Amino acid sequence: MSKQINVALIGNPNTGKTSVFNALTGLNQKVGNYPGITVEKKEGICKLPRGVKAHIIDLPGTYSLNASSLDENVVIELLLNKNDKDFPDVAVVVSDVENLKRNLLLFTQIKDLEIPTILVINMADRMSYKGITLDIPYLEEHLNTKIALVSTRKKNGITELKELITNYKELSTAPCMNASAIDPEYFLNLQKAFPNQLLYKLWLVITQDVNFGKTDRNEIDAVAEFKTKSKADLKRLQQKETIKRYQFINNTLKEGQTIDLNTAKDLRIKLDRILTHKIWGYVIFFLILLTIFQAIYDWSSVPMDFIDSSFAALSEWTKNSLPAGAFTSLLAEGIIPGLGGIVIFIPQIAFLFLFISVLEESGYMSRVVFLMDRGMRRFGLSGKSVVPLISGTACAIPAIMATRNIESWKERLITILVTPFTTCSARLPVYLIIISLVIPDGRFLGLGYQAMTLMLLYLIGFGAALVSAMLLNKILKIKSKTFFVVEMPNYKLPLFKNVVLTVIEKTKSFVFGAGKIILAISIVLWFLASYGPGEEFNNAEEIIKTEYADQNLSAEEIHEHVASQKLEHSFLGITGHAIEPAIRPLGYDWKIGIALVSSFAAREVFVGTLATIYSVGSDDEETIKNRMAGEVNPILGGPLFTFASGISLLLFYAFAMQCMSTLAIVQRETNSWKWPLLQLVIMSAFAYIIALIAFQLLK
Amino acid sequence: MQVTVAHLKRGQRGIITDVSSIHIPLKLLEMGCLPGNFVELVQLAHFSDPMYLNINGTHLAIRKETALHILIEIL
């Protein structure tokens, strides 16, 4: 068996590093986490010429090896740890041809670690457009490396890159800069103390004050005596180092790169004049959001109706074709409707992820950050909080992880605490089904009432996030340095392959993640609903027959009465009735109560739960929606899902903190149980009060 | 009065003369905000904050409070 080559893909954000990764690995990739931390780890396998294989890691984007966040720290930790099983045999630094100067900074740092390094100059198709010419042999000679000119858009240069990776042993490991030049005297002492260590590596270990992990702990302790220099001194030296690196880069590029500004065209300026305009910028942003919601609602209704009726038919078919018994009934009444409750939302979730990834890939998201910073600061947030708040509409978990690039701890903490208010995709199933039940189907100015209600719910979510941020900003007494740097990348047409891979990957993890919980809960619910203690459950048939003895009921009607008698006196019914007094003032019956309680595991369980409860004991082929519409309010009579109870439920789901996974992530990111518990209690109590007020006012 | 990046008007260019390294995050220096490099104001948000700049070919946005610590000579 041939040995796999370990390859690490490293590069600044916005250089198309992920496109290169996708081009190398195709579908041979998997996404996981680094052990113990929630940083995403992307790895894949790439087939190289002559039967060799490469194991490729796509490291988080970083501007330099001076880490300032958990994500960036992953990069330096891997590069400093020769014993890591993923330690690269060869580093591939991905750079953007339009930003070569800045991208080379990271390249020189990695070269100085004496790791064999290949330089990928990506987006080479933009060169003529930007009037850039490169002298590749000159650059290869002076940077002591091999260069691959790549265009993932035009699919050029990937074969050459694979060839270079295969022959990585021929790469030079000579450094670009002599680390001693930073401060000769200090480094001389350092070298005397640790004659066997690489100077630049020592320097990195000394200057990293954000050591989240366990990089060569002994080494760090050993050099502790060299931390005698003050923080300010070290920073001055780092500045000096940066200047020296840029001098080297400028000298190299002076000969190796020419830019003809006359032929350079700039689309960016024209677009930014409108997209970041003081008025039009906001108008366009709002229109984009509006389009997204309208699209999610309208475009996905066809596949959703199809999935809904298919699952109803499948359940019916199972019941009729398999021999009757507990297993068939578990399958037809528990598992299939439960799964249907999740599969139905794939179209919408896929659309949502599609839009978010297009906004990110195109470079527009940074413009939103720029536009919103000033406004967000009023609420104690940062412009960068917009990204978590928007991606929170997909799922709060990645959104909370996306807060890591917010520099100020206070702004970051507030963002983490308020993000769960944004309407995540798990709320979508609940919203959609209730909206379709209680909101009329009309249109106003071309926009459906139902779509507008959905939009309004999203706005309520954002509003709640902003108001609570403002309160937290007043209450929390945290002093932290605030600064804010955000790169404004070039506008790019999103690459189809990248977008599709993101959508597939995210939708898959949503479906499987939520699917597991939903499957488990539907099975438990089915058992609880199908068995019960005491006479009233076990003798249901006798009881009904005597009760209705004088009425001439058809066999079918008797069967229905028996089924509902059984459900009411099953374990599930008993539990539901026990909590009913607490939720009756909100307009809910005990069945909704069960769905509400199981939703505290994860919100999307709601529809699946109701589907399971309603299908137990019923014979007909019915969609979830029709069953819900047919429910009768046990006290007031009339339909259970009225405008009042519907709005009350919508508001409850808008505000309540019903997601165990989010609580777990908040605990990890804030490193404390205090914050997630506060979220759980305050958000849910608030949801109860608002739902109560809404129902009492509207009924 | 010292002239800083915060004094630039839209479309104006300057050369960075000094950065006060206590107030400027290392990340900004690494993105090219160093003495001798040029800086151009591309766009301003509401109330001139944040500022959308082109520093040495890198486009980025920073807040006004940071811009006040980057000394320049207007071209």
For residues A473 and A411, give the distance between their C-alpha atoms in angstroms, rounded to a whole number.
Answer: 8
The residue-averaged pLDDT of A133-162 equals 92
Q: Which residue of B has its CA nearest to A64?
A: B30
Please tell me the distance from the alpha carbon of residue A346 to that of residue A357, in angstroms, as a whole number: 16
A244 and A124 within one domain: yes
Task: Give the model's confidence band at A1: pLDDT under 50 very low, under 70 low, under 90 confident, else very high.
Answer: very low
Between chains, do B30 and A63 touch, taking CB under 8 Å as contact?
Answer: yes
- Find residue A407's DSSP bridge partners: none
Q: Is residue A19 part of a domain?
A: yes
Domain annotation covers residue A340:
yes
CATH number for position A61: 3.40.50.300
The answer to whether the CB atoms of A278 and B25 lie below 8 A apart is no
The SS3 call for residue A94 is strand
End-to-end Cα spacing for chain A:
73
**Does A139 score more than 90 pLDDT?**
yes
**A531 shares a domain with A460:** no
- Residue A489 maps to a domain: no
A523 in the same domain as A399:
no
Helices (H) and strands (E) in chain B, counts: 2, 5
Rounded mean pLDDT of A662-681?
A: 87
The pLDDT of residue A306 is 87
Would you say B71 and B18 are in contact if contact means Cβ atoms under 8 Å apart? Answer: yes
The rounded percent of chain A whose pLDDT value lies above 90 is 28
Residue A193 sits in the same domain as residue A285: no
Q: What are phi and psi of A213, to 5 degrees?
A: -110, -145
Which residues in chain A have their CB less than 8 angstroms from residue B21's CB? Answer: 235-236, 239
Return the number of other C-beta atoms located less than 10 Å from residue A551's C-beta: 8
Q: Which pLDDT does position A213 carry in this prediction? A: 46
What confidence tier does A496 reach under pLDDT thresholds 50, 70, 90? Answer: confident
| φ, ψ dihedrals at A42, nearest 5° | -105, 125
β-bridge pairing A40-47 and A29-33: antiparallel
A555-569 vs A571-583: helix crossing angle, rounded to 10? 70
Contacts for A555 with CB less than 8 Å, ≥ 6 apart: none
Confidence of residue A225 (pLDDT cuts 50, 70, 90): low
CB of A649 within 8 A of CB of A430? yes
Q: Predicted confidence band at A690 (pLDDT cuts at 50, 70, 90)?
A: very high
A563 vs B43, more confident: B43
Select the more confidently predicted residue: A512 or A414: A414
The complex's ipTM? Answer: 0.94
Residue A9 · residue A17 · CB < 8 Å: yes
Question: Mind spelling out the 3-state secondary structure of A492-535?
Answer: CCCCHHHHHHHHHHHHHHHHHHHHHHHHHHHHHHHHHHHCCCHH
Mutation for testing the A interface, residue in B18, B30, B31 having most A CBs under 10 Å: B30
Residues 6+ away with beta carbon under 8 Å from A693: none
A40 annotated to a ligand binding site: yes
Query: With helix as H, strand as E and coil as C, how does A416-448 read?
Result: HHHHHHCCCCCHHHHHHHHHHHHCCCCEECCEE
Range with top average pLDDT, A68-72, A94-98, A127-131: A94-98
In a domain, A500, yes or no: no
pLDDT value of position A21: 94
Query: Residue A422's pLDDT band (boundaries 50, 70, 90)?
Result: very high
CB within 8 Å of A681: residues ≥ 6 apart: none
**Structural domain total, chain A:** 3
- Distance between A519 CA and the closest CA of chain B, angstroms: 47
Reported as a pLDDT band with limits 50, 70 and 90, residue A226 is: low
Q: What would the 3-class secondary structure string for A220-276 be? A: HHHHHHHHHCCHHHHHHHHHHHHHHHHHHHHHHHHHHEEECCCCCCCHHHHHHHHHC
The reply to whether A142 and A57 lie within a common domain is: yes
Answer with the one of A238, A263, A288 that is the final residue of a domain: A263
Whether residue A257 sits in one domain with residue A287: no
Beta bridge partners of A95: A121
Number of Cα atoms under 13 Å in the Cβ half of residue A256: 19
pLDDT at A415: 94
Domain that holds residue A178: 1-263
Q: Which residue would you say has higher pLDDT here, A147 or A300?
A: A147
DSSP bridge pairs for A8: A57, A91
pLDDT at A483 over 60: yes
**Final residue before a domain boundary, out of A263, A293, A308:** A263
Q: Å from A265 to nearest chain B CA?
A: 14
As a whole number, mean pLDDT of residues A134-143 equals 93
- Two structure tokens written together for A592: 């909704």
CA B44 from centroid of its chain's CA atoms: 12
pLDDT score, position A38: 67
**Is the predicted pLDDT of residue A11 greater than 90, yes or no?**
yes
Q: Which of B35, B56, B60 sits opposite A488 (nearest CB)?
A: B60
Residue A111 lies in a domain: yes
- Residues of chain A with pLDDT > 70, as a percent, come to 92
User: How far, rounded to the nearest angstrom, does the alpha carbon of residue A622 sit from its chain's CA centroid?
Assistant: 34
- Give the mean pLDDT of A86-93: 94
State pLDDT tens for residues A264-290: 667 788 889 899 998 999 999 989 987
Strands A5-11 and A53-58: parallel
Q: Are residues A469 and A598 in the same domain?
A: no
- CA distances to A438, A447, A449 from A441, rounded to whole Å, are 9, 10, 6
For A605-644, write each residue's pLDDT tens digit: 787 777 777 765 555 556 677 777 777 776 666 788 888 9
Instruction: State how far the Cα of A631 lies from the Cα of A567, in Å rounded to an integer.
Output: 14
Q: Residue A622 has what pLDDT?
A: 64
- In the structure encoding, which two tokens stand for residue A306, read together? 């199809």
**If you average pLDDT over every residue of chain A, what do you get?**
84
A449 in Cβ contact with A442 (< 8 Å): yes
- The reply to whether residue A63 touches residue B27, judged by beta carbons under 8 angstroms, is yes
Tell me: pLDDT of A436 over 50: yes
Q: For A318-334, give the DSSP string.
A: HHHHSPSSHHHHIIIII
Q: Which domain holds residue B61?
A: 5-74
Report the pLDDT value the prediction gives residue A550, as an integer from 0 to 100. 75
Identify the H or E element spanning A133: strand A132-134
Residues of A at the B interface (Cβ-Cβ below 8 Å)? Answer: 63-64, 66, 68, 98-99, 101-102, 105, 232, 235-236, 238-239, 242-243, 246, 268-269, 272-273, 276, 278, 366, 369-371, 373-375, 383, 407, 482-490
- Residue A556: C-alpha distances to residues A313, A428, A553, A559 (Å): 20, 36, 8, 5
A216 lies in the same domain as A83: yes
* CA dist., res. B57 & res. B39, Å (int): 8
On chain A, the residues whose CB falls within 8 A of the CB of B52 are 272, 276, 370, 488
Which positions ≥6 away from A685 have C-beta within 8 Å?
Answer: none
Is the CB of B42 less than 8 angstroms away from the CB of A269? yes
Q: Are residues A528 and A452 in the same domain?
A: no
The predicted model gives B20-44 an average pLDDT of 88
Is residue A482 a part of any domain in this protein?
Answer: no
What sign for the dihedral angle of Cα A80, A84, A36, A217?
Answer: negative
Q: What's the rounded Cα separation, in Å, for the pair A308 and A93?
A: 48
Mean pLDDT over A144-160 rounds to 92
Number of domains into which chain B is organized: 1
Choice among A188-192, A208-212, A348-352 with the minimum mean pLDDT: A208-212
On whether both A432 and A556 belong to a single domain, the answer is: no
Instruction: Using the predicted structure, report yes or no on whether residue A258 has a pLDDT greater than 80.
Output: yes
Domain assignment present for residue A284? The answer is yes
Number of inter-chain CB pairs under 8 A, A vs B:
112
Q: What is the pLDDT of residue A212?
A: 41
Q: Domain containing B38 — which CATH number?
A: 2.30.30.90
Please tell me whether residues A246 and A301 are part of one structural domain.
no
Question: Are A517 and A450 in the same domain?
Answer: no
Residue of higher predicted confidence among A73 and A135: A135
Helices (H) and strands (E) in chain A, counts: 33, 12
Task: Give the pLDDT band (50/70/90) at residue A399.
Answer: confident
Q: Which residues of A touch B42 (CB under 8 A)?
A: 269, 272, 488
The pairing of strands A53-58 and A146-149 is: unpaired
Question: Among the three residues A451, A475, A499, which one is the final residue of a domain in this structure?
Answer: A475
* Residue A447 pLDDT greater than 80, yes or no: no
